[in-house]
Chain A
Amino acid sequence: MIGSLAVLLVAVGVAPAVAKSTTPVRPAAKAPRPAPAPAPVPTLCEGDYADSVPAARASEILDAVKDQFVFSIRNIATYERVYYGRDGKLRRNYIRSVVHGTGFAYQVKDGETLIVTNEHVANRPDVTDDEHQVDGVPPGSKKVREQIKIVRDEEDDYEPGHVPLKLALSDSAADIAIVKARTVDAWAIAESEYVLEGLLYPRDKRYETAEAERAGVHLVVLPAPEPAWVRGDRYLLERAALNLISNAIEASPPGGQVSIEVSRQDSVASLKVTDAGPGIAPDRLPRIFETNLQGGKHRLLAGLVGDDLVARQPGADIHQGFLDLDTGEIRSAAAAVVARAIQQGALEAARPNPSSGAITLHFTLPRAGRARVSTRMRLADSQNVVAVCQLSDGSLWSDSAAVVVTLAACLEDGI
């Protein structure tokens, strides 16, 4: 852990709670700090040719722009396979095929961002055959649906945060396609409602605990007396919490202790990570608030990233807050993820459409008899219906089913 105090404020008006912290923290300012000026992007000289640019210079240019304009592209295609069953009747089978690729935003025109990517990512074959094969899809299948979108990474399955794309043109010979996004940097705030301790589970039992064991550090979790419900972008806060904990473990000497304390005071909930780290080196201090990412992609990597405790200002902007840091002559360091505390259910009315959850079921053991339920829900569009189940031992089980919706209707099925 860095010998400093870092507070990620994700809401305005949280300064009093920070000031009340048991760890000495500099009172936070009331207004968000302006984002540091972006580092100037080096440009090619007029008339330079790519092969005449020295490799180091070219790398510098590439590094400066790649984080701003490079996106992860996901294409979800649904293929329909028509075949005769054993009973001689015509049957249809729907097969989902997902591919990922990389896109580079090169122009903004008429409010739309143009992104160049590979044709085989942006435009899947209309019909599969020997020349146009798709993994997992039998030849002779017909494409009935295709979704192209920007995602954070290949693991990102939080659909409200995805940015839909539209194919503008493609060239199969050159394997190049142009896709358009109406808004890239105006991501909808992926707010959700959850218990702050939830950021730790099951992570504290997996990643952090394993990391602490490897480092010989004792990890202590002090939960809040009552659940601390918060609202915000769970992805960002989770990243912030994960990095704080990882930093603390990394900086702690063997046999040391890292404590994670979740608390709630009035309208502020905080997840504070404390360790006995050696402190931050003076030469690294100027980099604390370094903003490496600008442009449309900044939200993807917002949060506290890396062992340099790099403050991604855009992440704070999203939460109408800011990052604050206090470096003092302290040996033990503490950092906190602070979020707006809310009453459970307060965000329900403001949930984004579509909502990520449809129904939450609670089986009371052993009286429930059988963990099986049937219900009906609305599906406005084709999608994956996912069931996640937490067992009594804390383990998780999940299954999903792809549903193709031709006309919006209710789905009745046993989940």
Chain B
Amino acid sequence: MASALINVPARAKRGEIIEIKTLISHVMETGFRRTQVGAVIPRNIIRRFVCSYNGAEVFSADLHPAMSANPFIVFSTIATESGTLAFEWTGDNGFSVKETAAITVE
């Protein structure tokens, strides 16, 4: 089971730009590598990452095989109101991981 690390400030001032760090454990197999006997290792990557803030999408990314293993993405958003940040990674072989983080806006 993939594990995700999320770094979101617990508190922020209204209108403040906050930085969000995400890291998820995933092999990100490119599909171009081969085994020692020459068989192609099937592609297995995360294709999409979406971050929603109280249900509204604030950031998303489409990932391709060139991304490193354990995709690490740092982005920012504006703290508008207290609530929940939802993170979702989806990919090959039905991969899907959802995480949430709470934030309090003062």
Residues of A within 8 A of B (CB): 345, 348-349, 351, 353-355, 357-364, 366-370, 372-378, 410, 412
Contacts and interface: CB of A to CB of B under 8 A. Distances in A.
A355 B64 contact: yes
Contact of B75 (A349, A358, A372): A372
Contacts of B68: 376-378, 410
Contacts of B67: 358-359, 375-378
Contacts of B74: 373-375
A369 B71 contact: no
Contacts of B25: none
B66 A355 contact: yes
Contact of A358 (B32, B58, B66): B66
Contacts of B60: 361-362, 364
B72 interface: yes
Nearest to A409: B68
A128 B72 CA distance: 40
A369 B72 contact: no
B65 interface: yes
A378 B66 contact: yes
Contacts of B61: 359-362, 373, 375
B43 interface: yes
Interface string B71-106: 111111110100000000000000000000000000
A368 B71 contact: no
Given A366-B78, A367-B53, A373-B61, 14 more contacts: A349-B31, A353-B30, A361-B59, A361-B75, A364-B57, A364-B58, A367-B78, A368-B75, A372-B76, A375-B74, A376-B68, A377-B66, A378-B30, A412-B72
Interface in B41-61: 43, 47, 53, 56-61
Contacts of B32: 353
Contacts of A355: 64-66
A395 B73 CA distance: 25
A369 B64 contact: no
B80 to A, nearest CB: 7
Contacts, number: 92
Q: Which 10 residue pairs across A and B have the least CB separation, nearest first?
A: A358-B66, A374-B74, A369-B17, A376-B68, A360-B62, A367-B58, A410-B68, A369-B78, A353-B32, A369-B76
B18 interface: yes
Contacts of A377: 66-68
A117 B25 CA distance: 50
A358 B47 CA distance: 11
B72 A368 contact: no
Contacts of B4: none
Contacts of A360: 61-62, 64
A376 B26 CA distance: 13
B6 interface: no
B77 A368 contact: yes
B63 interface: yes
A161 to B, nearest CB: 18
A368 B75 CA distance: 8
Given A368-B58, A368-B59, A358 B64 contact: yes
A354 B56 contact: no
Contacts of A369: 17-18, 76-78
A368 B76 contact: yes
Contacts of B66: 354-355, 357-359, 377-378
A415 to B, nearest CB: 11
Given A345-B47, A369-B78, A374 B30 contact: no
Nearest to B33: A353
Contacts of A359: 61-64, 66-67
B65 A351 contact: yes
Contacts of A366: 78
A370 B43 CA distance: 33
A309 to B, nearest CB: 37
A239 B103 CA distance: 51
Contacts of B30: 353, 378
Nearest to B79: A369
Contact of B73 (A348, A357, A368, A374): A374
B75 A357 contact: no
A370 B15 CA distance: 12
A367 B53 CA distance: 9
Contacts of A361: 59-61, 75
A367 B18 CA distance: 11
